[in-house]
Amino acid sequence: MNTFSETKTGTDRFRLLGGWVERPDDLQPALEGDITADVVIIGAGFAGLSTALELTALGASVVVLEQDFAGFGASGRNAGYLAGSMGVEFELFHKRVGLEQARKLVSFYDEGVSYVERRLRELAIDCDYNPSGIIRAAVHPSQEKKLRHSMALGQHLGSVTRFVDADEMRARGIPPAFLFGCTQHGGTLDPGKYIMGLRRAALRAGVRLFEQTRLLSYSEGPSIVCRTERGSASAPFMVLATNAYTPQLGLLRDKVVPLRVSAIETAPLSKAQLKTLGWQGREGIVTPHWTMESHRLTARDTLLVTTKQLGYAYGSGTPNQPDPAAYKVLVQAMDDRFPTLRGTPIGACWSGYISLAFDALPVVGTTGLQRNILYSAGCSGHGVGTQSLVGYLLAERIGGIEHPLLAALRHKTPTTLPEPLQWCAMKAALAGVNRLDRALNRKVRASLAP
Ligand SMILES: Cc1cc2nc3c(=O)[nH]c(=O)nc-3n(C[C@H](O)[C@H](O)[C@H](O)COP(=O)(O)OP(=O)(O)OC[C@H]3O[C@@H](n4cnc5c(N)ncnc54)[C@H](O)[C@@H]3O)c2cc1C
C-alpha cells in the first residue's frame, strides 16, 4: 500500500496553489485609482490571458483584473493533458444539438490542440510539451463495447481517432493495466510553465495586469465600470474569464456548477522504477470510467494521477482546501494500475475547480443590456486547449468578426437547480457514478487475484 494512504488525513502533502506554480516573484500590483481601456478582462487563466494577448495583437488596450495571481485557478492546477475531442461524451451532445452542430463542436475541441501547439511556438513557451498523443485506455475487457461505440460516434462526427489493440499497447510499452484503447493527437505539458509563459507574453505585449485585484461589482452601460477594492477599470467591453468562480459573481449561476477535481503526484521515480514501467512514449492516459482516471508521467519523472472522484460544495462554493477522501481514492487508483510503484511516497496533492454545464458543453456567450459582456465557462475538464482557443474567438468577436467555431458553440444550456436541490442532485449523481466505477474496479481486482 502506498505510504501516503497511511497518513491520517492525507493532507500533509497538500499544496494550496497546486503542484506546478508558486506565487510569482514579480507579482503585479493591485489596481489603485480609476483607469480606462478598450477591454477589461476578469480572470487570468488560459481564457483570460489568451483573450488579452489576441486583443493586444489587434491593437486594443487591455486591462486584466485577477483576484490572486495569473494561474491561481484551474489553469495552474490541471493535469496538463492537451487533448482534443478525446474523452468528450459525444453521446451526450450529439442528440441534443444534432449532427451538424455536433460536428462543429468536435472540431472546436480538436482545433484547441492545434491552436495551443501553434501558440507555444509563436510565443516561444517551453512547457515540456510532449506531443505523444493521448490514449483512452480500458482497464477491463468489459469497457471495450463502450470505448468502440464512443470512438465510432466520434469518428462519425469528425474526430480523428484510431483503435490501439493489446498487441500495440504492449509493443509501445504502455503499462499492462491498460489493456487496449483509442488514441488521438495532443499530448501532455507542464500547465504551470504554460500559464506562466502566457503571463510573461502578456506583460511583454503591454497588457496591464493587476493581480491581487478582485472584481467586487460592475455596472452596465456603453462603458462598463468594474469596481475593485481600491479603484475601478472601465471599458466598452468586459470579458468574464472566471470559469468556475463565475456563479459567485452572480452570473451563470443557472448554467454552470463548479466541480472540485483533485490530483496526487508521487515523489520523483528512480531510474529503476521508470524502467519497470516501460512507457517509453510517456503517453497521457485517461480511462473510460464514468469519472475518468488520468495517469501521466511528468518531465520531472513523477507520476501524476488525477480526476477519479469529483466534489461539489453547497451553494457553488470553491473552497481552496484539501479533499482527503479524493486523494485516498486516487492513491488506490495508482496502486491498482501501477502495482510496481506501491510504497512510493506521494510528494504533493491538491484540488482545483472546473465548471460543468448539465449538457457538458462549453458555455460561451454574450450578455448585458448592451450585449458587451462576454463570458466563457463550462469547458469541464477539457480547458487546456478549448479555453485557450476561446481567447482567440472572443478577441475576434470583440473585433467584429464572429468565427464559425464561436457560432457553433451557441446553443441552449440546460438550467441548473436552486439550492438545496442542486446539492442533493449533485451528491446523488456523483455517488451514483462512483458506485459504478467502484464496481468495475472490483471486477478488475478480482480478475487479477491469484
Ligand atoms: C485538477 C485539475 C485537472 C485538470 N486537468 C485538465 C487536463 O489535463 N486537461 C484539460 O484540458 N483540462 C484540465 N482541467 C481543466 C482546465 O484546467 C480548465 O478547464 C481551464 O484551466 C480553465 O481555464 P479558465 O481560464 O477558464 O479558468 P481558470 O484557470 O480557473 O481562471 C479563472 C481565473 O479567474 C480568477 N477570478 C475568479 N473570480 C475573480 C474575481 N472576482 N476577480 C478577479 N479574478 C477572479 C481566478 O483567480 C482564476 O485565476 C483540469 C482542472 C483541474 C482543477
- The answer to whether residue 212 sits within a structural domain is yes
- The answer to whether residue 450 sits within a structural domain is no
Q: Work out the average pLDDT over 141-159.
A: 93
- The answer to whether residue 215 sits within a structural domain is yes
- The answer to whether residue 342 sits within a structural domain is yes
- CA–CA distance, 140 with 150 (Å, rounded to integer): 16
CA–centroid distance, 354 to ligand 1, in Å, is: 6
Virtual torsion, Cα 401, 403, 404, 405, nearest 10 deg = -150
Query: Whole domain around residue 122: which residue ranges?
Result: 3-444
Mean of all residue pLDDT scores within the chain: 94
CA–centroid distance, 176 to ligand 1, in Å, is: 33
- CA–CA distance, 206 with 366 (Å, rounded to integer): 26
Name the grid cell of 174: 504502455
Virtual torsion, Cα 239, 244, 250, 254, nearest 10 deg = 110
- The answer to whether residue 175 sits within a structural domain is yes
Indicate the pTM of the whole model: 0.96
Q: Which domain CATH number covers 402?
A: 3.50.50.60
Q: Work out the average pLDDT over 280-309.
A: 96
CB 372 within 8 A of CB 41: no
Please report which confidence band the pLDDT of residue 95 belongs to, taking 50, 70 and 90 as the band edges. Answer: confident
Please report which confidence band the pLDDT of residue 10 belongs to, taking 50, 70 and 90 as the band edges. Answer: low
Q: Work out the average pLDDT over 186-202.
A: 98
CA–centroid distance, 173 to ligand 1, in Å, is: 33
Above 50 in pLDDT, residue 8?
A: no
- CA–CA distance, 450 with 447 (Å, rounded to integer): 8
Above 90 in pLDDT, residue 11?
A: no
Q: Work out the average pLDDT over 372-376.
A: 97
Above 50 in pLDDT, residue 68?
A: yes
Number of domains in the chain: 1
- CA–CA distance, 450 with 446 (Å, rounded to integer): 9
Q: Work out the average pLDDT over 123-144.
A: 97
User: Is the distance from the beta carbon of residue 215 to the nearest atom of ligand 1 less than 6 Å?
Assistant: yes
Interval 23-60: pLDDT, tens: 999 999 999 999 999 999 999 999 999 999 999 999 99
User: Is the distance from the beta carbon of residue 375 to the nearest atom of ligand 1 less than 6 Å?
Assistant: no
CA–centroid distance, 402 to ligand 1, in Å, is: 24
Q: What is the DSSP letter of 73?
A: S
User: Is the distance from the beta carbon of residue 74 to the nearest atom of ligand 1 less than 6 Å?
Assistant: yes
CA 203 to chain centre: 24
- The answer to whether residue 301 sits within a structural domain is yes
Q: In this predicted structure, what is the pLDDT of residue 3? A: 46
Counting from 1 in the atom list of ligand 1, the atom nearest the Cα of 355 is: 19
User: Is the distance from the beta carbon of residue 40 to the nearest atom of ligand 1 less than 6 Å?
Assistant: no
- The answer to whether residue 274 sits within a structural domain is yes
Angle at 315 between CA 438 and CA 328, to 5 degrees: 30
Interval 221-280: pLDDT, tens: 999 999 999 999 999 999 999 999 999 998 999 999 999 999 999 999 999 999 999 999
- The answer to whether residue 393 sits within a structural domain is yes
CB 337 within 8 A of CB 175: yes
